[in-house]
Amino acid sequence: MTWTSDELMTVNAARALAGARTCFVGIGLPSAAANLARRTIEPGLVLIYESGTLGSKPSRLPLSIGDGELADTADAVVSVPEIFNYWLQAGRIDVGFLGAAQVDRYANVNTTVIDRGPGRPEGRLPGAGGAPEIAASCGKVLLVLRHSPRNLVGELDFVTTVGHGDGPGSRARLGLPGAGPVAVITDLGIMRPDPETAELTLTDVHPGTTAGQAVAATGWPLAVAGDLRVTEPPTEAELTALRRLAQGAPDA
């Protein structure tokens, strides 16, 4: 079978949920990955959406975080204050899965404004949504976005959501309870924070991609792990499940 680079990204993002019990799901790429994980590697995964659904089991990929099917198939539906206070802030959720517009070398995230240079107004992005507290309070965080120097930048124009702050020890100093980002999955490969420096390091490339391509598509001098791995090609089962999801076909 053949596949696209976006499919490589989503399949690997889904695999990153292996072993997770509960996942707070952002809309877009994270939702596609989390729903794919529930159909492949982690069928018991509890999907939690900020619209207030606990244990959603949609048969199709939702367009928004508030599609009716998310509530209709949930184990419980709660109010928005409750989902953030009793469930997220209380530390009950294993993994937060987020998309991003801009990410820096410490996996901090900007989804607020883009600096377009002198004399031009700031470019407006949607804003924070649930991300600052999802990244603070979930046990760990996964990020998924396309790899480009526009998205992976040397310096953020605005820090919306803290990943590893300005490096080792930052999260503890800020009093952020969760472990923070453990992987950034892109269409070229996977970056993980270095255990010593907390700086994102290329640990995996997807089949057919070189480390050089990933380095060239990164806005800071990206470190490459000595034992760089190549991700396993997508299986037929993964691709079939993903394409059914993307087409809006009901669960097989």
Partner 1 sequence: MAEIRSLRDAVAGLVHSGDTVAMEGFTHLIPFAAAHEMIRQRVTDLTLVRMTPDVIYDQLIGMGAARKLVFSWGGNPGVGSLHRFRDAVENGWPRPLELDEHSHAGMANRYVAGASRLPFAVLRGYRGSDLPSRSATISTVVCPFTGEELAAVAAINPDVTVIHAQRADRDGNVQLWGLVGVQKEAALAASRVLVTVEEIVDDLTPAPGAVVLPSWTVDAVALAPNGAHPSYAAGYTVRDNGFYQSWDAVSRDRDAFLRWMDENVLEEAR
Q: Which residues bind partner 1 (CB under 8 A)?
A: 27-28, 50-53, 62-68, 70-72, 77, 79-81, 84-85, 88-89, 112, 121-124, 126-133, 136-137, 158-162, 165, 170, 174-177
Q: Which is nearer to partner 1, 70 or 95 (CB)?
A: 70
Distance CA 245, CA 11 (A): 12
- β-strand pairing of 53-56 with 113-114: unpaired
Q: Looking at beta carbons only, is 73 or 240 nearer to partner 1?
A: 73
State the catalytic residues: 50
Cα distance between residue 212 and residue 204, in whole Å: 12
Q: What DSSP element (H or E) covers 218?
A: none
Collapsing DSSP to helix, strand or coil, 189 comes out as strand
> To the nearest whole angstrom, how small is the minimum distance from the Cβ of residue 113 to partner 1?
9
CB nearer to partner 1: pick between 92 and 225:
92
Nearest distance from C-beta of residue 17 to partner 1, angstroms: 20
Question: Burial level of 219, CB count in 10 A (0-12/13-18/19+)?
Answer: middle
Smallest separation, CB 141 to partner 1 (Å)? 13
Q: Answer for the pair 46, 22: CB distance below 8 angstroms, yes or no.
A: yes
Integer CA distances (angstroms), 93 to 49, 63, 168, 178, 223, in order: 11, 23, 24, 10, 31
Supply the minimum distance, in Å, between the C-beta of residue 27 and partner 1.
6
- Please say which residue, 83 or 200, places its beta carbon nearer to partner 1: 83
